[in-house]
Chains A and B, each alone.
Chain A
Amino acid sequence: MTTVTTLSRLLRSGKMSASELTEIYIKAVEKVNPAINAYVYTCFDEARRGARLADKLLREGKGGALTGIPFALKDNIATEGIPTTCCSKMLKGHIPLYDAFAYSKLREQGAVLIGKTNMDEFAMGGTNENSVYGAALNPRDRTRVAGGSSGGSAAAVCADIAAFSLGSDTGGSVRRPAAFCGVVGFKPTYGAISRNGLFAYASSLDQIGSLSATVGDAATVFGAIRGKDAADMTSCAPTGEIDLKGEVKGLKIGICDEFFVGADQKLVDRISEILREYERAGAQIVRVSMPSLRYALAAYYVIACAEASSNLGRYDGVRFGYRAENCTDAAELMIKSRTEGFGKEVRKRIVFGTYVLSAGYYDACYKKACLLRQRTEADFERCFCECDVLFSPAAPTSALPLGFVCGDPLRGYRDDFCTVPQNLAGLPAISLPCGEDGNGLPYGLQITGRKFEDARVLNIAYFAEKVGLCKAKNIGGGVGL
């Protein structure tokens, strides 16, 4: 996989122009994408324009680490003038009137947007199979899912047709596809990156994150887009300087058995190997426990669906998006537009979320879920009194076969238990490539840190990368620089 670091060096040394680089990416996308369906929209003209601007910056010596770097955005991040559809019939052809904060930050620094990537409709799903454009396929095995919901963003990086990409993570939607595709997926602390322009699924859980080939690239991207945004009252000022050294001496790594339930043995063994390397470098392993973990998943689905039922109310056919035809009054217009415009999984979650907020069920469902969320936060806090970070699987298995969860939808929900608690507590977590199964498919190691200790999580992850423990494997066929 081509890294941002490599490309940045090439561009700044003048060995290649941003325009040349962009053409290379465009060719690679045209060649590779049809087979994996990672991009659902490409904006090559805008990319070429962006590259010319980047070249100007580079010529003037104003280039930064991301100037001229081709990247992709998940299809739920607003781009002015470029369709943003959440991979839903509801928003087909929808063109936002403004740029998301994260995107405008990247643009300011001269990064070059290549296109919008595939996802589960409105980010609801863990396999990318709930997309109106069809699933993104796993570039390492096209009979397998890329993971979700940011499947296209992970697949594009894995197939080497985007130097990095942004996704969104509400319950693991960045970390899970990263694990399935064998790339690095970083979900920062809640609020570390503005949600302004991220089409909301569940506002109290949603977080923009990155997918990249290396931890170093994740750190570069995070540094470029983090920070307080006046337009998002839940965003926060940067905390901690990002300086990757990979120092782990004196580090206390917590291992919590509850996170390993149902995990493949090969994955468990690989994590043990990795832990030994950390110990050898001076880290200490601590056993911790999170009794509330078994409830976190239920709490997550209640809260996420409740918020979704409200957030998705605006798609009513009145102002934008899909509008049903031949309606006689406003109520019929709204009902028909919503019924026809949303896919099955989205409708299911809206109905469920509406139910848990309804009079008579609020206390038994929503309120209880909020209490369980507090328990999860408290459990994490307790753990972090004894250790600095938690190591766990990012998903219990490698990438599932296509169609697998369609036959067993509950399985699709259940597998999120490794990644959901971090969203409930707003913690930073990263997924790193971590060995592979018998078929050569990657596993993901997840490192979870304290709130606002994003820089530390990146540093600890960087150690594994530096000593060659966790390395994204190349599959060829992409840009290959």
Chain B
Amino acid sequence: MSYRLVCGIETHIELATATKIFCGCATAFGGQPNTRCCPVCTGQPGSLPVLNRRVVEYAIRAGLAVNCTINEVASLDRKNYFYPDLPKAYQISQYDRPICENGCIALDGGKRIRIKRIHIEEDAGKLIHIGGRTLVDYNRCGVPLIEVVTEPDIETPAQAGEYIEKLQAIMRAIGISDCRMQEGSLRCDVNVSVGGEGISSARTEIKNMNSVSQIVRAIEYEYSRQLSVIEGGGRVERATLRFDERTGSTVVMRGKEDSGDYRYFPEPDLPAVLIPRELVAEISACLPELPAARAERYVKELGMDEANARLICRYNAVAVFAERVFSLGADVRTATNLIVGTLYSLLSTEDEREKFDIFVTAEDFAELAELVAGGKIGVTLAQMTLTEMVSSRRPLADFRGRLEGMDENQLEDLCRKAIECNPRAVDDFLSGKEKALSGLFGFIKKQSQGRADIREAERVLRRLLKEKQ
């Protein structure tokens, strides 16, 4: 018997509109509890929703970016359930006529993950548990969301991770969301079941994960758990689970018997949304270049290697920066290496890379890359300088002196000093150990703060040492 993973993902993405989906309150993250709400988003009796046009436009943008068809008529529905963070006891969402349907995202290997639908809906508030009491913050109520639902096309945990990263990159590139999992502006629910010939096993849904790596681990764990249930002759029960980061396992939140009957019905307060074809065409025309296309262009036009192209295009802010650097005429290979090598090691988290607050202008960066490419300074000095520019938030001009390099006399003085101060290394070299020279290079690099050109220094050193022999 051969088994395989069957996995689909529902992703909620908070839209970066200035105001909420059904009222004029601000959507900004944080803020004192219950300061960003009004009669509409707290469900005061008699209040009515007014659909934010921007939300529809953003959803259309999202749909077009992942190759969806945009429906001409969409409608809103009520999803009814009771919870203290849901002020109206229903969420306005979309049931059978979503804005977008039938799209797909291609993974690097060519595998396509089909997108079943994208619909708009409102977010709920937040419960805060303090000392045995539960408080409710309604600031998040009515923050617009899109929900992107895939078909169960994902076959490996790694594909799930790649899909989410691709989705994130696309949504950021089109500017509709910052897609930060930590802050909850991108949230995934993952459906997992075991497939295979003649197998029809129940699926489970895993919720509340806040990083891609957690999602990948959760799927790995849950798939193997279900496999062992089936191989042990048991049956997988339909359930909603949560991933416990500490134990690395999934825990049941609620079983099948508690699965909600949401009593969806058409929202009578909102007329159907008519989406004129001209609007779709207009939005389509304004869509920026998407990460995949951009990476492809970098490979084709700039001769960048594929892996680096993808690494750069994965973060919209980075790609925008790189584009400026290239347009200033910087050497692509050098600039790319500085970005992927130096900057990425400084910005280690996804979040930092996406924000890309480096305080280095594209002009300074391009100049630095040119100094390396033109052989004026070494790569090490460039990397060191870049690192300091980022951490001290100072412009390139402040490092000018160091970058001008050393003249022949200065270099010779430094080499003499190196020989004087490292008698052991000198002895070793003279007795035939070529490697001992690297000890001297280290000294020179350190003393010159990277200003010395090491190839030049080697030439001088060998000459001086030869004189000694």
Contact = CB atoms under 8 A, between A and B. Distances in A.
Contact of A234 (B82, B88, B269): B269
Interface residues of A, number: 45
Interface string A210-239: 000000000000000000001111100000
Given A230-B50, A313-B90, A78 B45 contact: yes
What's the dominant secondary structure at chain A's contact region? loop
Given A313-B80, A313-B89, A232 B48 contact: yes
A319 interface: yes
Interface string B68-106: 000000000010101110011110000000000000000
Contacts, number: 103
B200 interface: no
A121 to B, nearest CB: 13
10 contacts: A77-B46, A97-B39, A199-B45, A233-B271, A306-B265, A310-B80, A310-B265, A318-B87, A358-B263, A362-B263
A359 B79 CA distance: 13
What's the dominant secondary structure at chain B's contact region? loop
B270 interface: yes
Contacts of A334: 82, 84
Given A314-B88, A357-B265, A366-B265, A97 B44 contact: yes
Given A310-B78, A362-B265, 15 more contacts: A78-B46, A96-B39, A98-B47, A100-B46, A199-B45, A231-B50, A233-B50, A310-B263, A314-B88, A315-B45, A320-B44, A354-B263, A357-B264, A359-B263, A366-B265
Contacts of A231: 48, 50
Contacts of B51: 233
Contacts of B269: 203, 232-234
Interface of B: 39, 42-51, 78, 80, 82-84, 87-90, 134, 136, 261, 263-265, 268-271
Nearest to A357: B263
Ranked nearest first, the 6 interchain pairs of A and B with the lowest CB-CB distance are A313-B89, A204-B268, A357-B263, A203-B268, A199-B45, A197-B46
A310 B262 CA distance: 11
Given A199-B45, A203-B268, A318-B136, A310 B90 contact: yes
B270 to A, nearest CB: 6
Q: Which of B87, B261, B269 neighbours the largest number of chain A CB atoms within 10 Å of its CB?
A: B269
A392 to B, nearest CB: 26
A317 B134 CA distance: 14
A419 B449 CA distance: 91
Interface of A: 76-78, 84, 86, 91, 94, 96-98, 100, 195-200, 202-204, 230-234, 306-307, 309-310, 313-316, 318-320, 330-331, 334, 354, 357-359, 362, 366
B89 to A, nearest CB: 3
A96 B80 contact: no
B82 A319 contact: no
Given A310-B263, A357-B80, A96 B268 contact: no
A447 to B, nearest CB: 26
Contacts of A359: 261, 263
Q: Which of B45, B80, B136, B264 neighbours the largest number of chain A CB atoms within 10 Å of its CB?
A: B45
A310 B261 contact: no
